Structure 1
Amino acid sequence: MTTNRRLHPAWLVAAVAFVALVGAAGFRATPSVLLHPLHAEFGWPLATISAAVSVNLLLYGLTAPFAAALMDRFGIRRVVSVALLLVAAGSGLTVFMTASWQLLLCWGVLVGLGTGSMALAFVATVTGRWFVRRRGLVTGVLTAGGAAGQLIFLPLIAVLVRDHGWRTAALVVAGAALAVVPLVVWLLREHPADLDLPAYGATEVVAAPPPTGGAATRALGALAAAARTRPFWLLAAGFAICGATTNGLVGTHFVPAAHDHGMAETTAAGLLALVGLFDIVGTIASGWLTDRVDSRLLLGAYYALRGLSLLVLPSLFAGSAEPSMLVFIVFYGLDWVATVPPTVALCREYFGGAGAVVFGWVFAAHQFGAALAATGAGLVRDRLGDYAVAWYVAGALSIGAAGLSLLLRRRPGRPVPEAVLVAATAPRAWSFRG
């Protein structure tokens, strides 16, 4: 067994996963920039366009637990490669659309399925297989990959839309997703045992578990068992609010809301990209803290602070980027997906070996909340003429999520009980002891 390498292969796997997440993030960063161009060209109501965003967000979440199980069954490399191809197809085909249902199909279904297969359950799978030490930190870094994609693509897409039209922007995103596929095929490894190595921070080589039945059976079996526990519902409810207040509301509607107050769309897109920049810092810091601080306390603090910031946001909009808005952008960016590392850690604590798949279902709740908020905020804007009510409701919900997080209890004793799949064809075999 070779153990004297300077750089453990786990870090190379993490680097490739990061690049894949960045590539997938590009198209998911575009909805807020494309809302008005699509409305102007096709005359579709904002609520209709927002519905396509909702389908995307919903499938992004619902695909995650099945993708995690598919990675166990067929391997990370195959699943991620197919996912990137779906993102490229969905983005590229939008240039031919002439009706709103085609937007739902391309932007909603194809991109939703593709990006959902590389959602945070992918992060949980990679860190669960390859890392024992630094797991929280690496989770934070990989989660920040989505923010990095937003940071890289959003200002570029805004400029492309302004200067060359939204079709050029869609093709650029499709090309970026395709460019990542060869890298994934070449460098993304499945298990440390394939290289006769222990995971990073472990001392023994652990053989890769054999495939256990169908992915759907495994994913649904994990859900059936987890749904019988109180922690699952507390985590899912809090993460649903997390999705509603980030991807669903701010990610989709911040740019059009700022435009309503006279701010140029390129300026607003730049501010949203700054959210992505500070999110990288905040999420990595959150991963570092997750290795050291009770995850329940971290979640409570993150949600409470987010709620307070959203309550003051309506008073900060103006025709230009005022200092008070920049303070909000920095603060909100640090908190954007800082909730992910402690949530992943809690899923692993409560559900052991099934933690990645169960987190996929918790993440599905995140995207369900995001989908509701994306459509709901569009309806609020169409009916009331502004977004103020949406911001206030989101702030109140975030404070409620802080309370849900603090209701989570520590599991008595160590080691943490594991979820064991005894028979792949019998979902009841999932058993969370304790």
Structure 2
Amino acid sequence: MIKPGRPMRGFVGATARKQMIPAQDAGQSDETLLRYAGWRVVLACFLMALFLFGFGLYGHGVYLAELQRLNGWPAALISGASTVSLLLCNIFATFTNELVARLGAKRLVLLGIAALAASTTLLAWATTPWQLYAAFILMSLGWIGMGTVVIATVVSLWFVRRRGLAISLAFTGGSCGGVVVTPLLVFLVEWFGFPAAMLTVTAIMVAVLVPVAVAWIGPPAGGGLAEGQIKDPSPAEMSSATGEISRAKLLRSPAFWTISVPFALALLAQIGFIVHQIALLEPKIGLASAGVAVSIMTFMAIAGRLGLGIFVDRLDPRRVTAVSLVSQAAALLAVLQTDDVSVVLAACAVFGFSIGNIITLPPLIIHREFNAASFVVVMGLSNAVSGTVGALGPGLVGLVRGWRGDYDAVLAVCIGLELLAAAIVVQRGLLRWRPAPVEGRG
């Protein structure tokens, strides 16, 4: 217990930091104004996500087709490299806290840009398997410097009241990567060939992101708007010696698992469905309509992120998560029950509306339930758990499809995963991290 008369260091530290922050002009620190500098940071993070997801996720289909054609490599070799990249980036995300502390956000972002540019340049000229795998390992390092953990961390330094909207807008760049970067790659490949296309878009990325990162990425003057406007520390925060939870203690925290497990299960179902969507829908509604369904789902993912971002700061993010997961389960149930084209397209629209929010909501829950000093640790470890499990989705769907011979069982499994995730995320009795009280020092 904390002994009477002894200071609670977490509270004193937070108070001292508040007193050290210089007063800012009201107009310059108002998150609701367009001239507020934090919105330029959001734009920078939007552009980072656009190129990262365009190259690092949606571009994999382009690499698969072109490297097969150019080098005669089997699909398993190339897709195996993609899997290695996604698994490594989720494992490396665990250590984002140490990287941010040692390098600072700006240097980490610049290193991420350099790693991604090196990756795409190497892919452009890859003629041997070791070059292929080296390129994808570099791509995983790009995810560490420019990925969701870093974006959420940087944006959170600038926003409190509009944090949900700001993170939603920044992450929307990821969805736009599939709309902008991938089609641009396809267009340039058709006209100039794969190497020239990769080098051209890489040059565009470097020319855009390096000046933006240098100019806009970093904390506000004075150490962070969040420290100046954040609510008073909770009793749990006040009883913490350092304000930062260790990973070992975090792994024993029910609150951590009621965040990580639901989103892991949701991503497992979501990624599995997305990867197999055309193959799943083609027997039901035909290839052309299945392609339309993918387009509708992608558009609704963008609309859902933007739409929810406007209101999410006034809502309970756990309840929003549960509603999103149940709506996706209902959409999959509709796909399972009917072959009607209009119903299937509507169901894909409903499913797509929550796709982006499954990435946006975890940092909002973490911000509400863990103190600011622990955010990067919790976010990094949670992202590692959910991302690694989610990466297994396509394989799980493939196994179930092979076992049963059709996709009906796949849809049933995905529905079950979504509903289980929704049931876990609303367990209110497990919400708060309550660290052990610590002795103050005289």
5 Å matches for 1:381-420?
389-409=409-429
Contact persistence 1:274–1:330 (CA under 8 A): yes
Question: Match of 1:130, as an amino acid?
Answer: W
Contact persistence 1:282–1:338 (CA under 8 A): yes
Question: Match of 1:352, as an amino acid?
Answer: N
Aligned to 1:132, what secondary structure does the other structure show? coil
Contact persistence 1:36–1:256 (CA under 8 A): no
Cross-structure match for 1:292: 314
Q: Whose radius of gyration is greater, 1 or 2?
A: 2
The counterpart of 1:186, out of the listed 214, 220, 234, is: 214
Normalising by structure 1, we get a TM-score of: 0.77
Residues in 2 aligned to 1:391 and 1:430: alpha-carbon distance in whole angstroms: 49
Aligned to 1:278, what secondary structure does the other structure show? helix
The counterpart of 1:229, out of the listed 228, 246, 253, is: 253
Identify if the C-alpha distance between structure 1 residues 411 and 380 changes in structure 2 by more than 3 Å, giving closer, same or farther: closer
Question: Match of 1:301, as an amino acid?
Answer: V
Deviations 1:322-366 (A, max 9, x none): 544432342222110213343212212222121232012111122
Identify if the C-alpha distance between structure 1 residues 362 and 312 changes in structure 2 by more than 3 Å, giving closer, same or farther: same
Cross-structure match for 1:281: 303
1:401 Cα shift?
0.8
Contact persistence 2:50–2:177 (CA under 8 A): yes
Give the alignment's Cα RMSD to 1 decimal: 3.8
Identify if the C-alpha distance between structure 1 residues 341 and 350 changes in structure 2 by more than 3 Å, giving closer, same or farther: same
Identify if the C-alpha distance between structure 1 residues 395 and 165 changes in structure 2 by more than 3 Å, giving closer, same or farther: farther
Identity %: 26
Are 1:240 and 2:264 an aligned pair? yes
Contact persistence 1:244–1:370 (CA under 8 A): yes
The counterpart of 1:355, out of the listed 375, 378, 381, is: 375
Moved more, 271-280 or 38-47: 38-47
Contact persistence 2:119–2:135 (CA under 8 A): yes
5 Å matches for 1:11-410?
11-27=39-55, 28-36=57-65, 38=67, 46-100=75-129, 102-107=131-136, 109-160=137-188, 166-167=194-195, 169-193=197-221, 196=222, 199=225, 202=228, 222-246=246-270, 248-254=271-277, 263=287, 272=294, 274-313=296-335, 322-353=341-372, 354-377=374-397, 389-409=409-429
1:255 Cα shift?
5.1
> Which 5+ residue runs of structure 1 have no aligned equivalent?
205-217, 420-427
> Which 5+ residue runs of structure 2 have no aligned equivalent?
1-22, 231-241
- Count of residues paired in the alignment: 396
Identify if the C-alpha distance between structure 1 residues 17 and 73 changes in structure 2 by more than 3 Å, giving closer, same or farther: same
Cross-structure match for 1:209: none
1:292 Cα shift?
1.6
Aligned to 2:146, what secondary structure does the other structure show? coil
Aligned to 1:175, what secondary structure does the other structure show? helix
Residues in 1 aligned to 2:417 and 2:118: alpha-carbon distance in whole angstroms: 36
1:277 Cα shift?
2.9
1:429 Cα shift?
12
Residues in 2 aligned to 1:123 and 1:281: alpha-carbon distance in whole angstroms: 20
